[in-house]
Amino acid sequence: MASLISNFVPRILLDRFRKTYGFCHISRVPLDVYVDCIFIYLDVEDIVSLRQVSKAFYLLTHEPIIWRRFLVRLDIPVPPLRPTFRYSYRATDHEIEQLVIQAITVDDNFRREDPKVVSRRLLLSYNKVLDMYLLPGGKFLIASVKDRCNFRFYLVIYALDHPKGPRAIARVPTMMKAYNVHARFMKVFGSEDGLVIGYTRRRFRTGAPVWADANDYSTRTDADIDPPEDFFYQSVCLYISMEKIEELSDPDLDIESREYIDNVTSSPPPFLELTTVESEYEIEDLQVFEKKGMPFLAVIHAINNEIIFIDLLAKTMMTLCPLRWLKYQDYPHQIRAFRPHPGQTDMVIVRSVKTRTGEVQLIEAYDIPDASGLQVLPHKGGYELRKSVASVHISDYDVPGPTGPDQPDLCYYYDPAPPVSIYLRLKNPSGLLHHAIYPIETKVKATATAPAHYEYEYKHNAVHVTTHISDPEVAHVLPGATRAVVYTVDKDDRTDFPKMLRLRRYNHPFARAGKYQEALKPEPEPISRRKRKPILRKTLFRTFGPQDIVEEINNRGGVAAIAWDEGSGRICVAAEKENEVRILDCSYVTIPDARFAEWKRKQAALNNPSEPL
């Protein structure tokens, strides 16, 4: 524990405590006493304030054990940890402090009446960005890119918090424009932690005129395009081990060394293709997920009212065809979105039915069958809404919990699981409709080997949460379970790169159902003197400041791709006319490179007192 301090504090710092401030009794206290006996009574604000006292306290308050104590006592959501995150590993020590500060500040920022983007950085992609997906935790970004000659297409993985700045660590060619990008941490090969990535690409079915390029046509499902030839679709599923990602993003790796170059060029390609689904029908959505610990890929064939499930290990296929509702059996049913419930064997599906009297939305629950082949099933629960909808988006957030063996059991893991949030983009008038499915609580009695605890299961108990009318602006949503990001565009702007009018936050007004019992967990001591601000209905939607962020994006051609991570509050935006990605952080995050440089500068100053701080 505290004996590790000597690894972080230079010898001269110890001498400063003992000699330079010899007249001050507190400065003569051993460092172990500070960490083990004094700092345990201080709040986060006290620790941060101590950094202003002296150079010695500046370095001492970065001691990882201080922030590990805060982390396990934190009772608000923490950005999800990747499976290979090593809690006791020195290379990740700096991330512990980041997690605590990030969790507190993003929660505070989203609750305040005037939310703001705290920091901005640029990621040089050197290519045009077509689509993006931020992995849970916000540390890694997957981007679909192409060169400006419209010739080469890639999927690229970026490490956003690398000490030497955001950088690409791996890429794989996709041959055509990749879209519908989705990814998830999974175990595919035994106990090896990996990352499974799914995407869709398309080409002309039998050929086309020389002047036509399939990559030039819009991939938006609501776009009215007239290609010279029908498309042929492919959904591809790739795998890369997390060990390889950790190796390539190692902060101590010298990417300019001959040893590194020889190692990379002699190593086999990091990506492995797991499966490819081919179809003559449009693939409108794609999900990778786990069912009973097994990896699956699922895609929507909306025109056929079916979802295709691929077992990535057994290589078997199951086609789920939901039955039409009896009262609407004469009308086609179109699947708009679906979401497997985390840790369960069922899912929520949203379908649209166009009747003579108007459009109807069906929000339904279905089991995911174990059998292969064609499965025609009725819903096991559902309700309808008479709304005209442009698109449907469902939150993609797993039940919080440890994802690796060397990770702590955090306090908030005992809280009720987050809801599954369903966002429907309304038409005539334009707006946003939010429904949520809350998990049902069941108490499990204590046994000889386990204490009493609560378990939570998602059933089809969806409730209406809010309705927001944005007309004459059109609202686009980046979904989240308890908070979301919304950006608005002009109603007449139907281009692939719309100009953004406002970038806004949305708060779920009641992220937990009031009927839950108190979780069976020890009550943690508060780590902060600040009280969490209440979520007020009148401030659910608020615009992020400063406004020049929107102006910069619009001046560079409009929004080409956008993604966000709910846990870290990180937003990534790519504009159409630039080869960059804007990283917008809604939390106070100390970037490792800046902090390490400061540490070195402070240590140099201690060795040479004549140098200015």
Report the domain count for the chain: 2
How much is the pLDDT for 232?
Answer: 94
How much is the pLDDT for 2?
Answer: 42
Verify that 55 and 123 share a domain, yes or no.
Answer: no
In a domain, 613, yes or no: no
Verify that 116 and 67 share a domain, yes or no.
Answer: no
Verify that 377 and 414 share a domain, yes or no.
Answer: yes
Residue written as tokens 């492919």?
234
Verify that 545 and 601 share a domain, yes or no.
Answer: no
Q: How far apart are CA 503 and CA 541, in angstroms?
A: 10
The CATH number assigned to the domain holding 585 equals 2.130.10.10
Q: With the C-alpha atoms ordered 299, 302, 303, 309, is the resulting torsion angle positive or negative?
A: positive
How much is the pLDDT for 199?
Answer: 98
Q: If we measure between CA atoms, which residue out of 434, 573, 589 comes closest to residue 510?
A: 434
Verify that 54 and 113 share a domain, yes or no.
Answer: no
Q: How far apart are CA 18 and CA 51, in angstroms?
A: 18
Contact 308, 319 (CB under 8 A): yes
SS3 call for 477: strand
Q: How far apart are CA 15 and CA 381, in angstroms?
A: 70
In a domain, 561, yes or no: yes
Verify that 275 and 335 share a domain, yes or no.
Answer: yes
Q: If we measure between CA atoms, which residue out of 197, 202, 195 comes closest to residue 153?
A: 202
In a domain, 602, yes or no: yes
Q: How far apart are the first and last CA of the chain?
A: 29
In a domain, 550, yes or no: yes
SS3 call for 362: strand
In a domain, 612, yes or no: no
How much is the pLDDT for 209?
Answer: 80
In a domain, 489, yes or no: yes
pLDDT in tens, 491-528: 999 899 999 999 999 999 876 655 666 656 666 777 88
How much is the pLDDT for 3?
Answer: 45
Q: What is the mean pLDDT of each run of 10 residues along the chain (613 residues)?
A: 47 53 65 85 90 81 87 87 80 81 93 94 95 95 92 96 89 96 94 95 86 88 80 96 91 80 85 94 92 94 90 95 95 95 93 94 95 94 94 88 77 83 95 94 84 83 91 96 96 93 93 62 75 87 94 96 95 96 90 51 50 46
Q: DSSP label at 589? A: -
Quick one: the chain helix, strand, coil %, rounded to 5?
20, 40, 40
Verify that 327 and 469 share a domain, yes or no.
Answer: yes
Q: What are 208's two structure tokens? A: 């086309």
Verify that 25 and 56 share a domain, yes or no.
Answer: yes
0.85 surpassed by pTM: yes
Verify that 338 and 420 share a domain, yes or no.
Answer: yes
How much is the pLDDT for 609?
Answer: 46
Verify that 485 and 341 share a domain, yes or no.
Answer: yes
Verify that 135 and 89 share a domain, yes or no.
Answer: no
Verify that 402 and 551 share a domain, yes or no.
Answer: yes
**Segment (H or E) for 105:** helix 93-111
Range of the domain at 367: 106-596
